[in-house]
């Protein structure tokens, strides 16, 4: 198994006694990955990130970053992490370059030419002397990213970096993230509430809801499980004839629900659904309902509704 850059074990945290905000969370971020932390608003993404960075104190469980317990190596660990949480705090009345100068001053150990380097990386070199208040949101986000890159981090943590950006801004940020991962080998942990965003950018994914990890694997495995094990719920006017007909056609019928008219049928891909429907219609079976029941798919629907 590949080396884990971030690992939590049974991480628990609550803001108040009434509710568990992070609930026994096991997070595993492999070295070199772009890890998408996916969950609807309020599911605990920002809270988890604050716990990883030691900005909040966990109630119980372990947090390891770079294979060491975070608590014992805080300063050393943080020097290797670049983070962008929610909106970057920038001085609007100053230029991009001046913002980076200030950030590098309180970070220390950063050479002057590093500022132009990061400006170039995020494609802001040409506007480096313009005041930040004239910047679009996308440019401000990229400047925030430039600040996070100043200390040449091994791990970048980005909290919803495309939130509020226009389509062009989203694509620029996505390409930038991929480039930093590929060319500089930076492991990237990125949170989002959009499945489509994670699918396009990430190699790995963890899905969180109400503080619990629901699924964690490679994006490839996620896509495969989406298309491989499609289950559909079928309601017709004649359950037994439907059953016989589908068995004859070679469909796998996983279980017969207790409900009078419902069948649960496995199909390999969506394109089999119209085939199935056509054959039932040809046999004068009336179809009242065809519903995709794949757990993961349902999960996504819920997630992406937000
Ligand atoms: N400062 C806070 N005080 C109390 N509750 C909070 C605070 N910040 C977040 N929460 C609650 O913790 C839960 C997780 O929030 P958050 O981590 O911000 O979710 P996400 O980033 O996924 O949108 C939510 O129920 C939210 O209302
Ligand atoms: Mg958040």
Query: What CATH number should be reported for the domain holding residue 130?
Result: 3.40.50.300
User: Does one domain contain both 180 and 239?
Assistant: no
User: What does the chain come to in residues?
Assistant: 306
Pocket test for ligand 1, best of 13, 15, 208 (most atoms within 8 A of CB): 15
Dihedral sign, Cα of residue 251, residue 254, residue 256, residue 258 = negative
Q: Find the 87 Cα to ligand 1 centroid distance in Å.
A: 16
One domain, residues 245 and 108: no
Q: Closest Cα to residue 282, out of 249, 255, 259, 305?
A: 249
Question: Tens of pLDDT along 271-288?
Answer: 889 999 999 999 999 999
pTM for this prediction: 0.80
Q: Nearest residue CA, atom 5 of ligand 1?
A: 15
Same domain (yes/no): 184, 198: yes
Residue of 19, 42, 157 to test ligand 1 pocket, by largest number of atoms within 8 Å of CB: 42
Q: Tell me how many domains the chain contains.
A: 2
Which of 224, 241, 267 is where one domain is finished?
Answer: 224
155 and 65 in contact (C-beta within 8 Å)? yes
Residues with CB under 5 Å of ion ligand 2 are 45-46
Residue 206's DSSP bridge partners are 37, 216
Closest residue by CA, ligand 1 atom 26 = 42
Confidence of residue 207 (pLDDT cuts 50, 70, 90): very high
Of 182, 200, 224, at which residue does a domain stop?
224
Span from the CA of 42 to the centroid of ligand 2 (angstroms): 7
Residues contacting residue 225 through CB under 8 Å, at least 6 positions apart: 296
Centroid of ligand 1 to alpha carbon of 48 (angstroms): 10
Burial classification of residue 266, based on how many CB atoms lie within 10 Å of its CB (0-12 exposed, 13-18 middle, 19 or more buried):
middle
* Residue 264: band (very low, low, confident or very high) from pLDDT cuts 50, 70, 90: confident
| Pair (71, 46) in one structural domain | yes
pLDDT digits (tens, 9 = 90+) for 72-108: 888 889 989 999 997 778 999 999 999 999 999 888 7
pLDDT tier at 229 (50, 70, 90 boundaries)? low
- How many alpha carbons fall within 13 Å on the CB side of residue 40? 11
pLDDT of residue 224 exceeding 80: no
Regarding whether 20 and 132 lie in a shared domain, the answer is yes
Boundary of a domain, candidates 205, 224, 243: 224
pLDDT value, residue 256: 63
How far away, in angstroms, is 22 Cα from ligand 2 center?
13
- Counting ligands in written order, the one closest to the CA of 160 is 2
pLDDT tens profile 1-58: 689 999 999 999 999 999 999 999 999 999 999 999 999 899 999 999 999 999 999 9
Q: Characterize 270-285 residue by residue with b for buried, 16 or more Cβ atoms within 10 angstroms of its Cβ, and e for exposed.
A: eebbeebeeebeeeeb
Angstrom distance (rounded) from CA 155 to CA 83: 8
Q: Are residues 150 and 241 in the same domain?
A: no
Range of the domain at 21: 4-224
Nearest CA to ligand 1 atom 27: 42
Structural contact between residues 59 and 12, judged by C-beta atoms closer than 8 angstroms: yes
Q: Tell me, what CATH number does 236's domain have?
A: 3.30.70.100
Q: Are residue 60 and residue 164 in the same domain, yes or no?
A: yes
54 with 149, same domain: the answer is: yes
What is the C-alpha to C-alpha distance for residues 306 and 299, in angstroms, rounded to an integer? 12
For residues 10 and 62, the answer to whether their CB atoms sit within 8 Å is yes
88, 155: one domain? yes
- Whether residue 106 is found in the same domain as residue 169: yes
Rounded to the nearest angstrom, the distance between the alpha carbon of 121 and the centre of ligand 1 is 32
- Residue 252: which H helix or E strand, with range? strand 252-255
Distance from C-alpha of 237 to C-alpha of 287, rounded to nearest angstrom: 7
Residues 195 and 299 in one domain: no
């Amino acid at each position: 198994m590949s080396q884990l850059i971030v690992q939590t074990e049974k991480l628990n945290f609550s803001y108040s006694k009434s509710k568990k905000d992070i609930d026994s969370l096991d997070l595993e971020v492999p070295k070199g990955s772009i890890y998408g932390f996916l969950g609807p608003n309020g599911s605990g993404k920002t809270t988890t990130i604050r716990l990883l960075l030691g900005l909040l104190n966990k109630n119980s469980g372990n947090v390891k970053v770079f294979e060491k317990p975070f608590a014992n190596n805080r300063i050393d660990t943080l020097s290797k992490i670049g983070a962008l949480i929610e909106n970057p705090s920038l001085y609007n009345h100053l230029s991009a370059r001046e913002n980076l100068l200030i950030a590098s001053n309180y970070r220390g150990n950063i050479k002057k030419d590093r500022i132009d380097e990061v400006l170039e990386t995020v494609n802001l070199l040409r506007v480096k002397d313009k005041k930040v208040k004239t910047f679009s949101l996308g440019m401000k986000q990229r400047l925030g990213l430039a600040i996070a890159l100043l200390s040449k981090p091994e791990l970048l943590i980005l909290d919803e970096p495309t939130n509020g950006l226009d389509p062009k801004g989203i694509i620029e940020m996505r390409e930038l993230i991929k480039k930093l991962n590929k060319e500089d080998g930076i492991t990237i942990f990125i949170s989002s509430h959009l499945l489509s965003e994670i699918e396009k950018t990430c190699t790995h994914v963890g899905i969180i809801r109400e503080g619990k990890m629901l699924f964690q694997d490679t994006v490839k495995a996620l896509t495969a499980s989406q298309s491989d094990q499609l289950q559909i719920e079928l309601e017709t006017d004649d359950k037994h004839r439907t059953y016989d007909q589908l068995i004859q056609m070679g469909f796998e019928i996983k279980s017969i629900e207790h409900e009078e008219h419902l069948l649960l049928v496995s199909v390999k891909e969506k394109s089999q659904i119209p085939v199935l429907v056509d054959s039932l219609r040809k046999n004068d079976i009336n179809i009242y309902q065809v519903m995709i029941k794949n757990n993961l798919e349902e999960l996504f629907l819920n997630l992406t509704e937000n």
